[in-house]
Structure 1
Amino acid sequence: MLDSKYQKFHDEIVKKIERERIFTDKLHTLAYGTDASFYRLIPKIVIKTDNAKEVQDIIELSNSMNLSITFRAAGTSLSGQAISDSILIITSRKFSDFKISPDASFISLQPALTGAQVNGLLARYSKKIGPDPASINAAMIGGIAANNASGMCCGISQNSYKTLKSMKLIFADGAKLDTGCNESKEAFRKSHGEFLKSLKSFSDDTKNNEELKAKIERKFKIKNTCGYSLNALIDFSDEFEILEHLIIGSEGTLAFIEEITYYTVEDLKDKASSLIYFKDMNEACSAVTKLKLAKDANKITVDAVELMDRAGLKSIENDPAMPAFIKDFDENITALLIETRAISDKQLDIQTAQIEELLKEFSVVRDIYFTKDVAEYTLYWKIRKGLFPAVGAVRVTGTTVIIEDVAYPIECLAEATLELQELFKKHGYSEALIFGHALEGNFHFVFTQDFSDPKEIKRYDDLMNEVVHSVAVKYQGSLKAEHGTGRNMAAFIEIEWGYDAYIMMKKIKSLFDPKGLLNPGVIINDDAQAHLKNLKTLPATNEIVDKCIECGFCEPTCPSNELTLTPRQRIVINREISRLESIGNKKEAKEYKDLYQYDGIETCATCSLCSTACPVKIDTGSLTKHLRAEQISNTGKSIANFVANNFSATLKGVRFGLHSANFIHKVLGTPSMETMTKTFRDFSNSIPKWSVTMPIGTNIDLNFEQKVSDKKVVYFPSCLNRSMGLNAVSKEEKQLFETTVELLLKAGYQILFPENLSNLCCGMPFSSKGFNEAAHTKSSQLEQALLKVSNSGEYPVLCDTSPCTKKMMESFTKKINIYEPIEFALEFLTKDLEFTAIDEAITIHTTCSSRKMGLEDKFKTLATLCSTNVIIPADVKCCGFAGDRGFNFPELNKSALRHLKEQTAGAKMAFSTSKTCEIGLSEESGLDYNSIFYLINKVTKTKTL
């Protein structure tokens, strides 16, 4: 229950914002209130906002009632700046409008676009935004700007502060300002004249304080996100430029960023990277210093230098992408991952040669080698970006992973880093490792911490106090280089900056937020123990997900990320249930389980795309399958086993149902059919949703003429395509089975079919629901049948459905060469058939299974063989249909494909490799999605010898 003041706020805000986007229950406040940091506060109220007007309404209401608010985008923040114990405002993924200038020199962005999405929008112009944090695939623009996030290559020259053009802001009193609009600025000057006058006086006072001015200039020559961006006070004279640059890095404590306009930067395509191994840390840091000085003197071009110490290398040495010899390195070896970019391949060769020449004097344990191979250097950088979560994955279950973020002046880099290593040893953090953006003197150090033991917390505090004095006092560095102050370093700002600077920061906070209601406790916090309070534990729940550190990298890939919960949030709730059960609080645990059923279990697509984004491959879909299996009764298992053992009859029942639905549709017409089935579903959602894209029942006929040939292929039509045909409005004339047979015969194959085909299934319909025994039964039957017909794996096996193919690959124990449509077409049909690309615009959808099999790029290649105009929707991953889940939970499909129609505009034909996916895709796009085999059959003919 909410206390009276929050209840009053709630009762007022529901008049302006849909009740469905306002959360006060324990499940959603905990799930939505969790970020990537090692702190936890649980908000009283969480509100998902869709637009700036809603944010303004919340700010005005909370201001009138003296209630604090916190703004949050993706929640990849690492220092505790995206959590609240009051009102948490989340910018929903609908906050995603953008506008690119005609020459692409700048781009205006709402806060919920991820950095990767933005760079995708700019790619066609060979442009990108400056900031490039390791979390760019998940981090949203609002957080990137509010934290002044930088990253691997942008340094301090291309961060948000340096590439800012203008902003749209909402202030603590509800006032709005567009710094790119003269009319808006004039209106603000009239309404907030005293505010601007005070801001100007802050700037003048700082410029006149020679000692403070000199300190600011010196400290912002390196990365620094500790405290407010005081450099704005000395870099600019115009009040509005001062204001907007103060907002950068202010972590939601000064205003809400409604929109930001960035100047874009060139995205040079010619790149080369080298992973270089030095004999020790001192040698590597000395090399970095020389590289930095040479770059500053324009003697070399180097875009990024990432350091990884031996402990960091050890955490990733078992990754298949890493060279095997790393395992043989001694404990002192330190690596630098160096990248240089150029305007041409010829210039790239010159630049790599210059770097190699400069590094000749240093002791390396392997020859220096720069690679231009995109796949090779992309793997290196992917591993580097995933280093922090990867380290978290090897921690002891139940402990927390800590990542700190410091920067040193480049001239003392080696000395300071060696001292940092000694501090780890002194305090017993033997597992600690160091990595980071060495070219900017910016290092992250990572270690694991037990927050359940007061002695361990004391050890952590002792370490941090020594680190603070070493970094900020002795070496005059930054306690936070790019992760933001948050709660983590708020207690130490005065130690780093001194009295005068800290007082100025307090003045800034008071000017923008007189009542202290915007994200209190972040940046400005007088509690010297703030960094030790509200610490988050990560209790064990299930070994499938126990290694998760709640970084949030998984969230953009999840089809339910806007509808219910994300993989990270599902793990958060499961951990809380396990914690409650471990202390005997089964009543509250049961309450969470009941709340979790729909959000966590029913609307999880179990597509496992989360594992492809997770640096340590955590598969929350597998957790959901495990939980579903636990819920199955013995009766349910018996029914599943009966279905599995009478599968042919089951498919007949499916065909009968589809035929019946189609007959009724013909009689009633589409509008009446939709109304009737909607009425039935309003009564019970166990009744499948009907739509015009629902397939008609079909059967297959194995009796067709073919010649005996040395080229043999085993064709396994999935049970889906043996029972589900085209929909009633499809323009195609032949069923998929007929089309596939025609295509294979055209290519000169003799087609073989497994015995007892009508009773065969890969087992996926059972395993996705947790019926593991029945799934194993069907999978084993199919394996034996395919092994026999393929002559013990001699002939290739083609399955016409990608998800089924992947299930077979995962389940089979014998060596059988199994192909789904994409890979079969590229490996075999391109040799046997002549492709003539059509000019009609097509669109393709790569299924989750195909993505996990690494076929996304191959599908694009295949599509371009068939059409000169291929449209691939940028923001569509999993379709959310999830086998048959789309029939009973169509809202999951609808949410997952919310961008599909707009992003496939102009396409005339649409293709994929899974019947159920095609049902949902057709429903949400208005296009008729069919198997890619239809298109291949259309654009090919037999090669003439």
Structure 2
Amino acid sequence: MLEGKYQDFYDEVSKIIDTKNLFTDKLHTLAYGTDASFYRLIPKIVIKTDNAKEVEEILKLSNAMELSVTFRAAGTSLSGQAISDSILIVTSRNFRDFRISEDKSTISLQPALTGQEVNNLLAPYGKKIGPDPASINAAMIGGIAANNASGMCCGISQNSYKTLKSMKLIFADGTKLDTADEESKKAFRISHKEFLEGLENIAKETKADKELAALIEKKFKIKNTCGYSINALIDFDDVFEVLQHLIIGSEGTLAFIEEITYETVEDLKDKASALIYFKDVKEACTAVTKIKLAREAKTITVDAVELMDRAGLASIENDPAMPEYIKDFDENVTALLIETRAINDETLDTQIKELEELLEEFEVVRDIYFTKDVAEYTLYWKIRKGLFPAVGAVREVGTTVIIEDVAYPIEVLAEATLELQALFKKHGYSEALIFGHALEGNFHFVFTQDFSIESEVKRYDEFMNDVVSSVAVKYQGSLKAEHGTGRNMAAFIEVEWGKTAYSMMKRIKEVFDPKGLLNPGVIINDDAEAHLKNLKAMPATNEIVDTCIECGFCEPTCPSNDITLTPRQRIVINREISKLEREGNLEEAKEYKELYQYDGIETCATCSLCSTACPVKIDTGNLTKHLRTEQITPSADKIASFVANNFSTTLKGMKVGLSGANLMHKLLGTPSMRSFTSSMRSLSKDNLPQWSASLPRATTIDTHFEQKLDSKKVVYFPSCINRTMGRDSKTTVEEELFDVTVKLLQKAGYQILFPENLDNLCCGMPFSSKGFKKQAEQKSNELEHALQEISHFGEYPILCDTSPCTKKMLESFNSKMKLYEPIEFTLEVLKDNLEFNQIDEPITIHTTCSSRKMGLHEKFIELAKMCSTKVIVPENVKCCGFAGDRGFNFPELNTSALRFLKEDVKEAKYAFSTSKTCEIGLSETSGLDYNSIFYLIDKCTTTKK
């Protein structure tokens, strides 16, 4: 319940912001009030903004009412800089326009594009952006710039500070500035004369103070995001250059980044990586120092050196991708992951040889081996990027994972690292580990903490004070190298920088934000115990998700990420419910559950793509299925059992419904049908499914047709969906999928076998997705038995024409059979029997969630390129959000998931996928006619002679 100025603010802001993007309820404020850090503040109001005009108006209003605001992009922040107990402004995923310059030297970006999305845009031109944080798949540009996030390879030469071209900014009072526009700067000089004079005075004083200037120059020779980027005060003379470079790393405390223009960097494609195991951390760090000095002397070329100590290796040694021998290493072995890149393969070989010769003097426990194999080195880097979340997954349930981020001068790296390990032992953090960007002297160290125990908080405080003394005082390093100051280092900035530099930072804050309304408590914080307050608990809720550390890596893949909740947010809410229930606060827990029903359960597609992005494979879709099972009533269970036991009858009923709907559509026409069915759905309070013009007509298959008896046999299991749903009224194809599949198999020379009692068979997915485990298992067992019989217990390959069903069969069956969906079946079975002739027309494909989880996305692209000279793969679409029949009952999920599809596929003429229900939603949204990939394969193949 809002009170006072917050209610007044809400009343005013609701006049300019759609109320569907304003949240004050406890579910959404908790969900959006959680970032990847170990702090939590619950905002009073959350506002999702789609554009700069909205931000401008919000800031004018908050400034007039003197209410503090915090900006948040993806919320992958690790230091508590994206949370608020006041007003939280979230950049929605639609705030994502971009422009690439004609010569591809610059790219202008709105804040909601992820780093990986930007690199995908630049990849065709051999370019990328400089920053490359481990969270690049999830972290948004606004956060990358605001935190001066760097990463594996960019060091201090290609980070946001060094590759910044210009910015569009919105200040605390709502004033806008475009640093690339002379007219904008001219207007700003008039409206903010005192502001610019104040900033110029700070810069002049800093330059004049030779001792301070020397300190700044020294400290920014290594990575440093502790405090403001005060190197801008001595690096530039133009006040607007000073201004915009101060924004980099300012963590939303100085202004809002509406747009940033980066200078792009070359993305060299010839790469090689080696995972090298040294006898101990001292040997590894000494090697790093030698590599760094050699690179500075330009006698070698190396792009990244990542260190993983023995504890870090132990956290990933059970990953199936890791070699078995890691488990046999002693407690001191330390790994360096080294990458070198070149303009061509010949140069790459030279660079590898130079590195191998440089490292000859060091004691390693395995031979040094550089790989050029893309799959192999990509795996190395994927494991390294997932190390932090992977560590969190092996922690004791209920504890919080803490990651700190320091940098040392390279000449003291070995000595300082050994001292850091000694501090772990001194304070009893036996599980702590070290990894990070060794080439820059930048290490992350991770440990776990139970903040629910007072003595543990005290231990943490004593440890952190020792770390601060060691890093900042003794070794003159950075307390924050790339994760931003946030709340956990704000209290120690003066310790690292001294009184003079810290006073300059305070003056900078006062110039930009005189009322102190932007992200208060972050960077500038006079509370010596700020790092001990607002600590986040991580209570257990369900073993399916308890290992989650709330990093947010999962969020970009989720089809509901822009409409309701993300996987991370679903876990946050479930943890809160479990905590309340354990505390006996059942009324509040019930309130959360009621609020969670639509946002958490009904609009979860259970696609499980979150598990593919999660470094520890947490499947929040499985959590949703578990919760749906808990909600099943005895009457619903009876209905499900009736359907399972009378499956062919149910399918006949579906066909009657489809025929009736299509007859009505034919009589009324599309506009009237859409209007009528929308009205009926509205009257039913959305209990009736939404009609779609892409709704298929009923179909019936006939398995009795003339065949040639042949030694080559294949079992064909047409899914229940494709036995029921045929072509829609708008389609351009002339045959049903079953007939096309049969024709294609016969063209390849196969005799086709069908399982007995086909009309009653189902993989069980329609039941399992709704939580009916018993019925799902029943149907799965029936199908497995029928397929065993007809395939002679796995002697013949088995084809299912729908990818999701195939995946369900692979997961559920106990017997070993060769099960295929269309993509892999074509590449592994049909290809050798067919001649492919590419069509010279643009096509697009949609890889279903199931296909992605089966690792078939790249194979689908390969198959599509065998069929067409131009293949369009929409990078902004992952799961379509149709989720079986959920697209009929919750069409807003499908619409949201595919909101970028039409633009992405506008040049395509034909469209293909491997799931009928997905194709319904894809066709409706895009305006294209999506069909099974088998139609294209049939069109462009002939029997091989």
- TM bin, normalised by shorter chain, reads over 0.9
Q: Which residue of 2 aligns with 1:917?
A: 918
Question: Equivalent residue of 1:348, what SS?
Answer: helix
What letter is aligned with 2:766?
A: P
Q: Which letter maps to 1:820?
A: E
**How far, CA to CA, are the matches of 2:502 and 2:901 in structure 1?**
49
Tell me, yes or no, if structure 1 residue 546 matches structure 2 residue 549.
no
**1:789 alignment counterpart:** 790
Residue type of the partner of 2:123?
Answer: A
Equivalent residue for 1:195?
195
Amino acid aligned to 1:555: E
Shift of 1:115: 0.1
2:462 and 2:747 map into 1 onto residues whose CA distance is: 74
The answer to whether structure 1 residue 59 and structure 2 residue 53 are counterparts is: no
In structure 2, C-alpha distance between the alignment counterparts of 1:690 and 1:175, rounded to whole Å: 47
Partner of residue 34, structure 1 = 34
State the partner residue of 1:345: 345
In 2: Cα distance, 1:470 partner to 1:719 partner: 66
* Amino acid across the alignment from 1:469: S
Partner of 1:516: 516
Q: 2:744 corresponds to which residue?
A: 743
**Does residue 858 of structure 1 match 2:859?**
yes
Output aligned runs, 1:111-260, within 5 Å: 111-260=111-260
CA distance in 2, matches of 1:296, 1:614: 36
Deviation at 1:264, TM superposition (A): 0.3
State the 1:173 CA deviation: 1.3
How far does residue 483 in structure 1 lie from its aligned partner after superposition?
Answer: 0.2
- Partner SS for 1:503: helix
Instruction: Describe the superposition over 1:422-474 as per-residue Cα deviations: whole angstroms up to 9, x where unpaired.
Output: 00000000000000000000000000000000000000000000000000000
1:605 maps to which residue?
Answer: 605
Listed one character per residue, the Cα deviations across residues 258-277 of structure 1 (whole Å, up to 9, x for unaligned) are 00000000000000000000
Q: Which runs of 5+ in 2 are unaligned?
A: none
Q: Secondary structure at the match of 1:116?
A: helix
User: For each residue in 1:351-396, what CA deviation from the matched residue of structure 2 results, as whole angstroms up to 9, or x when unmatched?
Assistant: 0100000000000000000000000000000000000000000000
1:809 alignment partner, SS class: helix
Aligned residue number for residue 827 of structure 1: 828
* Cα distance, 1:198 vs structure 2: 1.2
The question of 1:572 aligning with 2:572 is answered yes
Counterpart secondary structure, 2:402: strand
Take 2:823 and 2:765, find their aligned partners in 1: how far apart are those partners? 20
Displacement, 1:194?
A: 1.4
Q: Corresponding residue for 1:505?
A: 505
Letter in 2 for 1:381: W
Measure, in 1, the Cα distance between the counterparts of 2:442 and 2:826: 48
Aligned runs of 1:445-844 on 2, under 5 Å?
Answer: 445-684=445-684, 685-844=686-845
Superposition deviation, residue 114 in structure 1: 0.2
**Matched residue, 1:369:** 369
1:104 aligns with 2:108: no
CA distance in 1, matches of 2:173, 2:676: 50
* Secondary structure of residue in 2 paired with 1:338: strand
Name the SS for the 2:203 alignment partner. Answer: helix
Once residues 153 and 683 of structure 1 are traced to their aligned partners in structure 2, the CA distance between those partners, rounded to angstroms, is 57
Displacement, 1:731?
1.1
Work out whether 1:381 is the aligned partner of 2:381: yes
The Cα shift of 1:829 comes to 1.1
Give the CA deviation at 1:683: 1.6
Q: Secondary structure at the match of 1:420?
A: helix
Offset, 1:174: 1.2
Partner-residue secondary structure (3-state), 1:360: coil
1:306 aligns with 2:298: no
1:682 partner amino acid: S
How far, CA to CA, are the matches of 1:420 and 1:797 in structure 2?
A: 57
Q: Which moved more, 1:188-197 or 1:295-304?
A: 188-197
Residue matched to 1:46: 46
Partner letter of residue 844 of structure 2?
A: T
Find the residue that maps to 2:771 and give its secondary structure.
Answer: coil
Q: In structure 1, what is the Cα distance between the partners aligned to 2:690 and 2:192?
A: 55
Q: Which amino acid aligns with 1:823?
A: E
Distance in 2, Cα, partners of 1:670 & 1:120: 38
Question: What residue is the counterpart of 2:320 in the other structure?
Answer: 320
**How many angstroms apart in 1 are the aligned matches of 2:198 and 2:769?**
62
Residue 941 of structure 2 corresponds to: 940
Corresponding residue SS for 2:423: helix
Query: Who is 2:849 aligned against?
Result: 848
Report how far residue 197 of structure 1 moved: 1.1
| Residue type at the aligned position of 2:318 | N
Q: Distance in 2 between matches of 1:680 and 1:623?
A: 33
Q: CA deviation at 1:703?
A: 1.5
Question: Aligned-pair distance for 1:635?
Answer: 1.2
The CA distance in 2 between the partners of 1:167 and 1:860, in whole Å, is 37
Give the total of aligned pairs.
944
Distance in 1 (CA, whole Å) between partners of 2:767 and 2:174 is: 54
Q: Which runs of 4+ in 1 moved over 6 A?
A: none
Describe the SS at the equivalent of 2:605.
Answer: coil
Please name the residue that 2:290 is paired with: 290
Could you tell me how far apart the structure 1 residues matched to 2:898 and 2:195 are?
Answer: 45
Give per-residue Cα distances to partners, 1:222-261, cap 9 Å, x unaligned. 0000000010000000000000000000000000000000
Structure-2 separation of matches of 1:702 and 1:481: 66
Cα distance in structure 1, aligned partners of 2:719 and 2:578: 39
Q: Secondary structure at the match of 1:556?
A: helix
What is the CA-CA distance between 1:191 and the residue it aligns to? 1.0
- Can you list the C-alpha shifts for 1:483-511, whole angstroms capped at 9, x where unaligned? 00000100000000000000000000001
Gaps of 5+ in 1: none
Secondary structure, in 3 states, of the residue corresponding to 2:370?
Answer: coil
Aligned-partner Cα distance in 2 for 1:277–1:729? 61
Q: CA deviation at 1:111?
A: 0.3
For 1:903 and 1:670, locate their aligned partners in 2 and report how far apart those are by CA, in whole Å. 26
Q: Which amino acid aligns with 2:287?
A: A
Query: How far apart are the structure 1 equivalents of 2:569 and 2:311?
Result: 30
Q: RMSD over aligned Cα, in angstroms?
A: 0.4
User: Which residue identity is paired with 2:91?
Assistant: T
How far off is 1:686 after superposition?
2.1
Deviation string 1:812-844 (CA, Å, 9 cap, x unpaired) is 000111000000000111100000000010000
Alpha-carbon separation, structure 2, partners of 1:904 and 1:351? 41
Task: Provide the residue aligned with 1:78 in structure 2.
Answer: 78
Instruction: Give CA-to-partner distance per residue, 1:732-788, whole Å, 9 cap, x none.
Output: 111000000000001000000000000000000000000110000000000000000
After superposition, the C-alpha distances for 1:269-321 in whole angstroms (9 at most, x for unaligned) are: 00000000000000000000000000011010000000000000000001111
Q: Letter of the 1:731 partner, please give it.
A: T
Q: CA deviation at 1:29?
A: 0.4
Superposed CA deviations along residues 717-744 of structure 1, whole A, max 9, x for unmatched, are 0000000000011111110000000000
Q: SS state of the match for residue 384, structure 1?
A: helix
| Mapped partners of 1:604, 1:522: distance in 2 | 34
User: SS state of the match for residue 360, structure 2?
Assistant: helix
Q: Which amino acid aligns with 2:777?
A: H
Q: How far, CA to CA, are the matches of 1:562 and 1:305 in structure 2?
A: 37
Asked if residue 885 in structure 1 is aligned to residue 886 in structure 2, the reply is yes
Write the distance in 1 (CA, Å) between the matches of 2:11 and 2:173.
Answer: 21
Q: 2:871 is paired with a residue of what secondary structure? A: strand
1:132 to partner: Cα distance: 0.2
The CA deviation at 1:402 is 0.3
Partner SS state of residue 371, structure 2:
coil
Q: Which amino acid aligns with 1:586?
A: L
Aligned residue identity for 2:713: K
Secondary structure of 1:307 counterpart: strand
Letter in 2 for 1:734: E
